[in-house]
Chain A
Amino acid sequence: MTALFRTTVRSFGLFGGIFVLSLNPAAAHTADGMLGGFASGFTHPILGFDHLLAMLAVGMWGAQIGGRALWTLPVAFPVVMAFGGALGILAVPVPAVELGIAASVVILGTAVALAARPPLWVGALIVGALALFHGHAHGTELPGSADPLAYGIGFVIGTGLIHAVGIGIGAMTHLPRGALALRAAGSVICAIGLYLTAAPLLA
């Protein structure tokens, strides 16, 4: 594994681990207030299967490309996602959000399956464009949460930690046959994305 890969995995893991350990479980006795809002925001991207797969794929793709993409893609995604979230909060309509989210799973899964290595700016552009749909879906939920400040912080951090897990999964590319296994995982993600895309049409 490259030094940069090791350092990025360590940094994400440390960041996420410390944050999780710093949460006070005693304060989880109620869903109200800041902690409830944070928990709601934190779990929103985790409990949404399509969100979860897409964000895992971002981390996996970044690890697969390597180099600066390892952290550039997980940095670009939350920022652009937030812009999409802003549109959702302001009820600015974005066409076919759910289709866009399902398509993001297909596109990102395909990128991992094909081990695509575009220029960094192209990869960031693709990730950013897809992040817009995810952000819009999250943003429509924020105003109804117990504490919008905590909700917003929670789902941004939750997104980042999912990227970290994806990077960890992408680490298998350095193992024997790991590259093949990673591409197979990308194929599975792509297949699930196709199902998610087609299911509403077939229903």
Chain B
Amino acid sequence: MFPTVAVFLILTVAAGDAFSHVMAPDTVLSEALHHPAFDPVHAVAFAAAGLWAGQQDDRRGWILLCVLCLGVVAGIALAKINWLPPGRSQSVFLGITVLGIAIAARWRPHLAIGIVLVATVGVLQGIIGALPEFKGGTGHHSAADVVVAAGILSILAQELSRRATPAWAGIVIRVAGSWIAAAAILLAAFTVRLQFGLGVSS
């Protein structure tokens, strides 16, 4: 039961903004809730990476998490030199979508494919973590906050996924993956709509 509860709590915390609006905007708690660990986009991406890594074997999972953190660092560095890829908003959500589907399908690809996927997610998360334009205002925190959030959340999620030994806990994680993918698909489409004005009546 514990792994499932904990995994669920991680995903719930990803919606931390829901609690912040009842707090005064200038309190320490409100500031903390806008930390990258509580930003929904960051938290879900890092938790999803951790859940997927937990479904791989031990060595492979740790390699993927290291790649994730290095990817975040690389993304921050790219943002600092103003290398901002086009379509990054949609790409962020598409990366989360792929991770969600991978979790739902309990996909265990070749390590190289896994590294490419996780590195891409990490780089994109690092880029948006360094930019103040994204929701949560994480740009005004230090870039190190994003890296630390990536490490802690992904490791926690990996350990919980790996220790989900009861059959039902594994099913919950796969279902959670499908929910993550579904939500990310919708949000990717929404960013496309916003960016290109598609479907907006004149």
A148 touches B187 (CB 8 A): yes
B178 touches A153 (CB 8 A): no
Distance in Å from the Cβ of B91 to the closest Cβ of chain A?
Answer: 15
B125 part of interface (Cβ distance < 8 Å): no
Distance in Å from the Cβ of B154 to the closest Cβ of chain A?
Answer: 20
How far apart sit A3 and B186, CA to CA, in the bound complex (Å)? 34
1/0 contact string of A86-115 vs chain B (CB within 8 Å): 110111100000000000000000000000
B166 part of interface (Cβ distance < 8 Å): yes
Q: Are A153 and B189 CB-contacts (below 8 A) given A11-B172, A27-B21, A78-B178? A: no
Q: Are A11 and B22 CB-contacts (below 8 A) given A75-B178, A149-B40? A: no
- Which of B186, B198, B199 interacts with A152 by CB under 8 Å? B186
Q: By DSSP majority rule, is chain A's interface helix, strand, loop, or mixed?
A: helix
- Which of A14, A26, A71 interacts with B174 by CB under 8 Å? A71
Nearest-neighbor residue (CB-CB) of A6 within chain B: B168
Q: How many residues of A contact B (CB 8 A)?
A: 48
- Chain B residues, CB < 8 A from A153: 15, 40, 183
- Chain A residues, CB < 8 A from B62: none
- Chain A residues, CB < 8 A from B193: 89-91, 143
A142 touches B18 (CB 8 A): no
Distance in Å from the Cβ of A13 to the closest Cβ of chain B?
Answer: 10
1/0 contact string of B86-122 vs chain A (CB within 8 Å): 0000000000000011001000000000000000000
Distance in Å from the Cβ of B190 to the closest Cβ of chain A?
Answer: 5
B142 part of interface (Cβ distance < 8 Å): no
B161 part of interface (Cβ distance < 8 Å): no
Distance in Å from the Cβ of B83 to the closest Cβ of chain A?
Answer: 26
- Chain A residues, CB < 8 A from B181: 78-79, 82
B135 part of interface (Cβ distance < 8 Å): yes
Interface locus among B4-12, B24-32, B52-60, B71-79: B4-12
B81 part of interface (Cβ distance < 8 Å): no
A186 part of interface (Cβ distance < 8 Å): no
Interface locus among A16-24, A47-55, A173-181, A192-200: A16-24
How far apart sit A12 and B18, CA to CA, in the bound complex (Å)? 23
A27 touches B18 (CB 8 A): yes
Interface centre among A14, A76, A82, A152, by most chain B C-beta atoms within 10 angstroms, is A82
- Chain B residues, CB < 8 A from A76: 178
- Which of A34, A82, A142, A143 interacts with B182 by CB under 8 Å? A82
How far apart sit A137 and B195, CA to CA, in the bound complex (Å)? 22
- Chain A residues, CB < 8 A from B18: 23-24, 27, 33-35, 38, 150
- Chain A residues, CB < 8 A from B9: 18, 22
B183 touches A82 (CB 8 A): yes
- Which of A8, A35, A82 interacts with B171 by CB under 8 Å? A8
- Chain B residues, CB < 8 A from A150: 15, 18
Q: Are A89 and B175 CB-contacts (below 8 A) given A10-B168, A34-B18? A: no
A86 touches B179 (CB 8 A): no
Q: Could you name 17 residue pairs across A and B whose Cβ atoms are closer than 8 Å?
A: A4-B167, A11-B175, A14-B5, A18-B12, A24-B18, A24-B22, A27-B21, A74-B175, A79-B178, A82-B183, A85-B182, A90-B199, A91-B199, A91-B200, A150-B18, A153-B40, A157-B179
